[in-house]
Amino acid sequence: MIKTGIHDIRQVTPGARFKTLFGKDKVLSITLYDRILSLPDAESLAERILLLSADERGARKRTYAARFDAFDEAVATRIRERWDADTPLRVEDVAVSDGRTAHDFFQRLASGFPRLSYGASDFNPRVFVVDDGRLKVTLSRSHRILEITFPPFVFNARPESPLFYPVNHAVRALITRLRVRPLVDRYVSGQVQARTILMFSAQAMNLAKGDHRFQLSEHDVLTPLPRWTGRHVVRAMNILNRSYFGAEQIGLILSHVHDGLGEGGWLITGSNQDAGSQVHGGVYERTESGFRKVWGSGEGSPVEPEILRWQPTRV
């Protein structure tokens, strides 16, 4: 069998077929991301791109609109009860994927806190596209290959099965050895320029342009938090999970959060599956000795035991 991909903006038309004859999802190329943002169905198209692509760690940007609505409203209500409207509220939202849910949460807080400062960040939100004729290669900042486009094929980070797609497997192996690797080497040495694509949603980017209180940036949760100290809120949705991080890494993240929060500040964290599904999470207040639980949703954060027993290292 053979599986082709969607690599040209002309293929993205109303009624376009996004599945193969055997019901498998076609890969919608990352290289189209910045070109579909102005289309009427940009939101669903961006979802398709992100759901089938992965960053350099292999993590997929699984994202949906209105994903945490009930949880977010409950948390926003508690924030409004906790801090006065004239508070210069500082919020850091990490691992925001394409920023849709950060956009939504900002809107819940913005009218009640006119002095709000909101930072939304994600791990490597920029990708870099280099081309050579029909060939396009999408790379991470560290030059890891995220996608290969060689019409009619679009190869993402997960190789096709040689058993079910022998043609795809053979073409991918051949084109990688003969064309892709030499092209990447030329890019790394500065002989080839790349086109940069920012993988935030149109909503988030438009908000950042129109409201100075909302800022988009790049940040790795395993490093200290950027910008402000003494934050009121750190929000970390669908990221603090044992499937993503080991115990030592979770401890390191909690250390960075604790350092970035002011006394009495809140860590808001939780996880769910599809949009509108139950969020298992909660609000955890920074104390001198660690964190205490303020409020919970569902079964609490997947790493709630780690949060509650974490303690700062004494020097």
Model confidence at 16, in pLDDT bands (50, 70, 90)? confident
**What are the structure tokens assigned to 21, written together?**
């004859």
| pLDDT tier at 99, thresholds 50, 70, 90 | very high
With bands split at pLDDT 50, 70 and 90, how would you rate the model's confidence at 134?
A: very high
Q: Which of 185, 188, 165 shows the shortest CA–CA distance to 177?
A: 185
Indicate the average pLDDT of the chain.
Answer: 91
Architecture of the 69-124+200-309 domain: 3-Layer(aba) Sandwich (3.40)
Q: State the pLDDT at residue 313.
A: 85
Answer whether 0.75 is exceeded by the pTM. Answer: yes
Model pLDDT for residues 66-79, shown as the tens digit of each residue: 789 999 999 999 99
Of 135, 147, 124, 123, whose CA–CA distance to 186 is shortest? 135
169: helix, strand or coil: helix
Where in the chain are the domains? 9-53+126-196, 69-124+200-309
Compute the average pLDDT of residues 279-304: 97
DSSP string, 7-70: -SGGG--TT---B-TTSPBPPBPGGGHHHHTTSTTHHHHHHHHHHH-B-TTS-B----TTTTHH
pLDDT confidence of 165, banded at 50, 70, 90? confident
36 pLDDT more than 70: yes
- Residue 284 clears pLDDT 70, i.e. is over it: yes
Bridge partner list, 308:
none
DSSP 196-236: EEE-S-HHHHHHHHH-TTEEEEE--TTS---S-SSEEEEEE
153-155 sheet: strands from edge to edge: 153-155, 145-150, 135-139, 126-132, 195-198
Number of neighbours of residue 216 by Cβ within 10 angstroms: 22
